[in-house]
Structure 1
């Protein structure tokens, strides 16, 4: 980090602190009505906490730069014994076809000695079909009945029957890449050697967390037509924030895709069963016991994320309640076993889940003044501009710089996108967070379904966004109607906040409106050589794929005298993965042209045998490069808003046109 950048970071923090001191001591309406005073205090507390979380990110990034925190994955150490590893795939009632992909991928994971890798499926549903699947892949099946301790109970039950020094946790929907162990186990070997060489100055490694990565577009990417513009919403935490946590040796466990030291987990009594976020709590318990935790930056597995409102909101509600539960169990504010760094990370995580309550406060505050002249901030306009504006805009500028860099050079997420995402979750998360904080627990939680549903009930989730959007629109019109000259200038701060929230809520409306899902299977960019012939012919012609999916491939010919294929032609295709040929049968569905070169899209099927296993591995072994790793810095939420208006208007025009044409 350059001296200029460091100076800007420090200046942003100093100006923001000056603003917060001014807010606390000079702007609170102490003599106002009780409602106004309470809301004014909520607003200033929200601002303090928001700034605190921003300061923490800046601090961790500056610390990472100063200490040169850059986790390097070593090679396997031939001087160290190669540890056995148990790969535990945890399943409850998920779809068996989804589980098949994860099990299949686990059998392809590379390791210097594959006999030391033991793949296990832990099924607390005790399902015969899962047992049959395990038998097909020649892996161990551990069934369980009557589990009343959720995922933690299932894992603990499996661990009682396993003994490898290292074990890995995979959720059903998290498909590992073949290089997973190569990116994690050497870190343990390195730590073992360091403990041997210098035990007095080396902390034992408890677990290594790899990023949560997804091969389908999330609800923000998909519903906002942004699959090529912004990364997955969870990338900001997994590939930035948690990597910074790991740089301080206190990475958080996020539930899947992590390798554990068995003796460390045994030492803390296994996975905790008194919370619905056993992952978060276990990681902290290991840290308190003296074990460090690291987070890698490059994904080594990929899963599916829900894109329907009900599924996404239920998932985040479970996470929010669970983290609040675990923070209470761990006593993060008073626990003497927590180091100061560990405590900072946990408090920062705790405050994150209060961001949604703060967002509601921020939305309501300018509306109160615009519609009812309820003033929750006593401030002169010019003093406000002098004290608030410099710190606010500079902090957002440096936060844009500290919002992370992905595997490729670029930003993972800027502050404006963060506000859109906070606004989206705010109406549905702030009440569960409050209830969990005061000890009112949810009666029951279910595993989040990854199947997309768009029933009438699902459409009702749009109501809070629509109500807030309409109220904000009315507030903008009423507040500015009839104003001229200096009146507009003096009211510009209120108008600014109303417009910002109006844009965010407009984006939320588009997200809640959804988008029709045409593609049944996700498409992956894969350039694979192969050959094709007509089903009734004998002459093979060489090809290379541009993308593949479980139901189809797109390809071009690589020879000059390519065979003429037409839509509807039955074909046989063979793809070469390393030294293995994979046979597919199918039909040409579409012929497009890129310049003079035709691009063929074929619907394909594969026999349920080793062909299928190899084809699934070809598809899922690696990140889905059709989705971005970094944000397009040239596209703003304003551009996104305009694009959605245009695309959705065109869609409605087409529907109307088709309807009238039928008539």
Structure 2
């Protein structure tokens, strides 16, 4: 196979040089472009991997290089025209930067790796493991669900210890000069330490909040001694199989320091929520976890992503723990260890379910931290100059960090057509024939390459949308790091916020201003096209460029128009899981059909189903798996929130009534223990779109988003939002677990989980009343 790839590579190089040497001119370029695009389409259909992949990329890259040569030699104003020449060079520099990052990215993902499953270890082979769950400002119910899921991981119990690292309850915060903050921190420490103890988790609160998350993790390293360290963010609950799919790799490679797994999110990010694409479109992070990390893994450059990862303690100790020079301690730590000869590995199997920022403002805050941190790494720990890295690793780390400078070229591409349309600056000289022969072929080649590499995980122009909405606010962040790389501080991203009303994001104003300017530029281009017949070709070219910017800006208006979303935790559909709900001394068999952190939906069966009514207090009993074939019955207090009848029969909505450990163990068992359904939904959204049809759809999508953005502007005051913890998640008594568990549950009839339950399941599925 390697010999075949070498032969294909040599032939592709010859083809690449041949394409570059062909005559330059609009007509020859048009013929070459059509032939090249046709070849790419054929290769994409018949040979998507291996040699075909190499040939496809070579043809596409040749078309892109021909465009860049033409762009540098035939489109610039003369140097004697200083103003226009300088402006044109700035735009060309932005294009060359994008070309460079594209080349680096192509190298990184050229051969994505699919790893075999980890070897399963016998109990006596299993290493000691410490699970770290760092927390700062997350709510108790959010953290407790993750702790319960971590405790439920399948692994020898005597070799697994779970630790809550609570940076919200440090001595520093408990002794704050602000009495309200001090009281809140002391209450947090009391509540979190109690819940940790009841869940069998070790609670840690350090003295000072130093060095943010890296400092928190390092403080725990000093107090623990496991061979391996697992890190889960406070809102990243793992499935029970997590260690089975990761730990075995360490036994086979003594120089392995990291096994990273994907992050999968239960809720949409603000862009997906506000544009209503979460159920149908691949999530933004799918390209990184589905393609990029697999490509980096081929070059031993897959890096730590801060959570859902296993690390070797001895490797961490060699570099003094988790790195903290930058505010992205995860990637920085991996860079430090790769430079010392340690190896990493990526397992493309989602085994955690997490939460994304709910509001656009918190989304921008998170991305600002990532952006600033990666640029810090680029400046302070330049991978090109870092001793110990291979050439491939240098290229991969350079690609990962350099790409975060995207706000700079994105801003240039937004402003450039406006300079011509409003100020008549000649930044791009081309006839319509040249535009179609070179620029359109170039853009088509880029779209085909993107579709070939990322088609199932990233749809056309979606990257442009994400970059645009971030660039508006990340551009100042980039500048601040470039001017003072040690200035950025770690900011924690808010999670678990509910949005009770539609509202305009407090960050929305620039997007409306930009849209208005771009819309005015469309009017100017139409007027100039009518008034200047001798320059119509150039006006049309620049006008189309501006129009593309307007389409993306219209989508952004829908992004900053926040949709109402009261549920703080998403509900997950479940296959019917048997349960019993006891109301006023009557036990009613039922099945759980969906569940969230705040409550459940049941379908009661039998002639006693109508006894369950809204407003009642009840006890829910569910049998769940523990270890192996063993099971236990969990009992939780619930409030009946609503009931009714739909197309599938009678249903009952329940709210958890307390913060008991049983509640969180139940959530861990029903939501996180087996996330095959989550993985299935992830794959279901990985669908390639036919490019011409999708581009038409995108125009309609932009028009709809624009209309909604305008309506929000007219109906909602900017920043007028009401966010609160979902009421369904709060305990009825407002007391933590110790008080809630004081009342003993009613006696439980175990026969309801025997053959009667099987009969009830059949009755429920047939919608017939049970006898």
For the aligned pair, the TM-score class normalised by the smaller chain equals: 0.7 to 0.9
Q: Matches of 1:38 and 1:441 in 2, distance apart?
A: 32
Contact (CA 8 Å) 1:169, 1:259: kept in 2 or not? yes
Cα-to-partner distance string for 1:1-46 (whole Å, 9 max, x where unaligned): 1655543321111111121122223323352655544432232222
Contact (CA 8 Å) 1:227, 1:628: kept in 2 or not? no
Give me the TM-score of the superposition, normalised by structure 2. 0.75
Matches within 5 A, 1:10-159: 10-31=58-79, 34-64=82-112, 69-78=113-122, 81-111=125-155, 113-124=156-167, 125-126=169-170, 127-159=189-221
1:49 offset after TM fit, Å?
2.3
Structure 1 equivalent of residue 43 of structure 2: none
1:172 aligns with 2:234: yes
Cα-to-partner distance string for 1:496-555 (whole Å, 9 max, x where unaligned): 2222211111111111111112324321122132245672474634x4433212333334
Deviates more, 1:565-574 or 1:327-336: 565-574
Q: Secondary structure at the match of 2:601?
A: strand
Structure with higher Rg: it is 2
Structure 1 equivalent of residue 312 of structure 2: 261
Unaligned stretches of 5+ residues in structure 2: 1-48, 171-188, 626-630, 717-771
Deviates more, 1:168-177 or 1:444-453: 444-453
1:458 offset after TM fit, Å?
7.5
Q: Matches of 1:164 and 1:14 in 2, distance apart?
A: 52
1:110 offset after TM fit, Å?
0.9
Matches within 5 A, 1:108-507: 108-111=152-155, 113-124=156-167, 125-126=169-170, 127-192=189-254, 204-403=255-454, 411-439=456-484, 441-442=486-487, 444-452=489-497, 459-481=505-527, 483=529, 491-507=539-555
Structure 2 equivalent of residue 199 of structure 1: none
Deviates more, 1:446-455 or 1:291-300: 446-455
Contact (CA 8 Å) 2:118, 2:248: kept in 1 or not? yes
Structure 2 equivalent of residue 198 of structure 1: none
Contact (CA 8 Å) 2:166, 2:203: kept in 1 or not? yes
Q: Matches of 2:272 and 2:212 in 1, distance apart?
A: 31
Contact (CA 8 Å) 1:134, 1:141: kept in 2 or not? yes
1:229 offset after TM fit, Å?
1.8
Matches within 5 A, 1:540-619: 540-541=588-589, 543-556=590-603, 563-564=609-610, 568=614, 570=616, 573-578=620-625, 579-583=631-635, 585-587=638-640, 589-594=642-647, 597-598=648-649, 600-617=651-668, 618-619=670-671
Cα-to-partner distance string for 1:309-353 (whole Å, 9 max, x where unaligned): 221112111111111112222222333432111111111112211
Say if 1:400 and 1:80 are closer, same or farther in 2 by CA, change over 3 A: farther
1:398 offset after TM fit, Å?
1.9
Contact (CA 8 Å) 1:223, 1:515: kept in 2 or not? yes
Q: Matches of 2:319 and 2:581 in 1, distance apart?
A: 60
Contact (CA 8 Å) 2:326, 2:376: kept in 1 or not? yes
Unaligned stretches of 5+ residues in structure 1: 193-203, 405-410, 656-663
Say if 1:569 and 1:646 are closer, same or farther in 2 by CA, change over 3 A: farther
Q: Secondary structure at the match of 1:527?
A: strand
1:119 offset after TM fit, Å?
1.2
Structure 2 equivalent of residue 658 of structure 1: none
Say if 1:38 and 1:431 are closer, same or farther in 2 by CA, change over 3 A: farther
Contact (CA 8 Å) 1:58, 1:399: kept in 2 or not? no
Contact (CA 8 Å) 1:28, 1:378: kept in 2 or not? yes
1:215 offset after TM fit, Å?
1.6
1:471 offset after TM fit, Å?
0.7
1:576 offset after TM fit, Å?
3.6
Superposed CA RMSD: 3.2
Which of 612, 634, 637 is matched with 2:698 structurally? 637
Say if 1:437 and 1:477 are closer, same or farther in 2 by CA, change over 3 A: same
Give me the TM-score of the superposition, normalised by structure 1. 0.87
1:526 aligns with 2:577: no
Q: Matches of 1:300 and 1:456 in 2, distance apart?
A: 33
Contact (CA 8 Å) 1:243, 1:294: kept in 2 or not? no
1:159 offset after TM fit, Å?
1.0
Cα-to-partner distance string for 1:560-609 (whole Å, 9 max, x where unaligned): x7945787374665444333334454426253533xx3252413325543
1:440 offset after TM fit, Å?
5.3
Say if 1:32 and 1:437 are closer, same or farther in 2 by CA, change over 3 A: farther
Q: Secondary structure at the match of 1:375?
A: coil
1:165 offset after TM fit, Å?
1.5
1:247 offset after TM fit, Å?
2.5
Say if 1:575 and 1:651 are closer, same or farther in 2 by CA, change over 3 A: farther
